[in-house]
Amino acid sequence: MTIYRRLRHGEAGFTEVELFDDVNKAANPSAKGKFVEIKVDSIKYNFLKVKKENDEQVENSSAKVQGSSRQETPEVPGSKAKSK
């Protein structure tokens, strides 16, 4: 069975609510308090991608390989080196 994965890329605004027992801890942005909730205020989708997950083909299927190092390369205009 073929499965497709959809990836949505975007941005979101949120508000995180935490509880602290000290005002100095609450004012410190790196301090972790007791988690209460997260509210998502807005979502903006920039783009999405769809990818094929499973194509049901045999893994060792034959494929034509190109780009052999033995292939002749064309001469570049203005180059002093000659093609073999």
Per-residue pLDDT tens digits for 27-40: 999 999 999 999 99
Interatomic CA distance for residues 73 and 82, integer angstroms: 10
Q: What is the mean pLDDT of the chain?
A: 79
With a cut of 70, say whether residue 61 has pLDDT above it.
no
The pTM of the full predicted model, rounded to 2 decimals, is 0.45
Q: Give 55 or 14, the one with higher predicted confidence.
A: 14
Interatomic CA distance for residues 11 and 44, integer angstroms: 5
pLDDT band at 2 (very low <50, low <70, confident <90, very high): confident
* Mean pLDDT of all residues in 15-27: 96
